[in-house]
Amino acid sequence: MSLLGAISLTSWTQFRFGPGLELLETYVSDVENDCAASVSAFEVSDEGFERQIGVDEQTGEAINEWVQVHKGLRGDSWSLPHVFRDYFPTLKRASALAMLCSFVEHELNILCEDIQKYLKIGIALGDIHGAGIDRACRYLKVVGNLTLQPEHVAWTQRADIFKIRNAMIHAGGRAGKPDVLKIIQSNKFLSIQGREIAISEGYLAQCISVFSNVGDIVNEGLRNRFEKEIAAKRNAAMKGWHS
């Protein structure tokens, strides 16, 4: 790894993780705007039709009912208020949640690879037991020798977010596990509707805040571990250039 690449280790949130998270924060804002616009369009929609459901025995007049229709879905087949106020917004937010979690996991994996290059060691991320973000964090602590403030609340919050992500992706949005139910009950932006998890506006912003805190913790660990060492190499290199 070049000296410039090594220096970037101690400015990880500034040059890599932070800018990526900022982009996703804008994406989340667009998702929320889209959810709000979709709900508003449903609320003002007057599309539908009357259909005959019977005949008045006394007057012989037809008895009709209004069937609401929105975006091709009929109110006599679907609970349209639930679909457009809750179900579709949750699907959109769940997709954004998956993107956020994938970004964090990917960036930590790349960081592990960069540390391996800097330390010039043969132990790769794939050699560590486990999978996903937990394996990356284990690599940073065990191989990278980073201190990551294990008692910080951000780590518990991070784990909770990934459990919700897993429930949305791998369990069809259902909260069957007791630990997932506990997370939902303790978060004002999450709820259970029927058997499915509902994600309200505010949860994605909360996730970004948690991931930002995680990034700060990792960056502090990188600086404590490598800053003096990299600074010494930089000073030596500068002396070599001037000699």
CB 193 within 8 A of CB 175: no
Is pLDDT above 60 for 238?
A: no
pLDDT band at 60 (very low <50, low <70, confident <90, very high): confident
Q: pTM of the predicted model, to two decimals? A: 0.88
Sign of the torsion angle spanned by Cα atoms 107, 173, 82, 73: positive
Asked whether 103 and 23 are in contact (CB, 8 A), the reply is no
E strands present in 56-208? 62-70, 73-74, 190-193, 196-199
Long-range contacts at 38-41 (CB < 8 A, ≥ 24 apart): 38/84, 38/88, 38/89, 39/84, 39/85, 39/89
Looking at residue 6, its pLDDT comes to 59
pLDDT band at 8 (very low <50, low <70, confident <90, very high): confident
CA 126, 130, 133, 135 dihedral sign is negative
Contact 136, 75 (CB under 8 A): no
Position 3 confidence tier, pLDDT thresholds 50, 70, 90: very low
Residue-wise pLDDT for 113-146, tens only, equals 999 999 999 999 999 999 999 999 999 999 999 9
Q: What is the pLDDT of residue 175?
A: 86
